[in-house]
Amino acid sequence: MRLKDLEIALESISRVGEYDVSLEQYPTPARIASAILFAAQMEYGDITDKTVCDLGCGDGIFALGAALLNADKVIGVDVQSKALKASQMNSRMLGTEDTVDWVLGDVSSFQLRCLVDTVVSNPPFGVKRRGADLRFLQKAISIADVTYSIHLAGDKNRAFLKNEVEKLGASVTQIETFQFPIGKLFDFHRKSVHMINVDLYRICSKECEPNGRC
């Protein structure tokens, strides 16, 4: 599948109607989700024929994109049942029901029957709930060989997260900085779209090969 075709497919999904500010739910645009997944496959082979997990999947955009890129098995995890209802509806619409399983559960406490190859996640930024982003990272590193995770940009946060990743026995192999649009989702949002700088981390939980593959 071409990048543009993936983006168009993900543009067609239904988004979660209402968002919970305490969970810091900021939907990932199709353009960003498709670019992350496509690069993960083209550069490292981390999606196709792999078992992929989307932690905090929301409407399922990363999980669905991985399935469309021919992941062997995909698992989407979210704490909200309404989010999983949207994910399931989107999965039926895209014809990925046989590839994706949806799990209702908190990231900190849910258990998988087996480890996965790749986690792709847009976790809470940890502004409303301090440490929420770390809980997602800890779970991802514990269950996957490779993690792709979006976090607030900035030298201080970057140094902190790299240190935490190393404490968990993993390593950051790549960081890409880009702008992430946040729509007017809550009453306290004044702008129709607010752009923030974020970092995409690629993290290996085991030793990487010279070409960067884990």
For the chain, domains (ranges, CATH) are 3-204 (3.40.50.150)
Counting as low any pLDDT under 70, the low residues of the chain are 17-25, 126-129, 183-192, 207-214
Distance from the Cα of residue 152 to its chain's centroid: 14
In this predicted structure, what is the pLDDT of residue 127? 57
In this predicted structure, what is the pLDDT of residue 189? 47
Distance from the Cα of residue 4 to its chain's centroid: 19
In this predicted structure, what is the pLDDT of residue 183? 64
Cβ atoms of 88 and 59 within 8 Å: the answer is no
In this predicted structure, what is the pLDDT of residue 16? 73
In this predicted structure, what is the pLDDT of residue 150? 96
Q: Specify which residues 199 forms β-bridges with.
A: 151, 177
Give just the sign of the alpha carbon dihedral 32, 29, 91, 77.
positive
Report pTM: 0.90
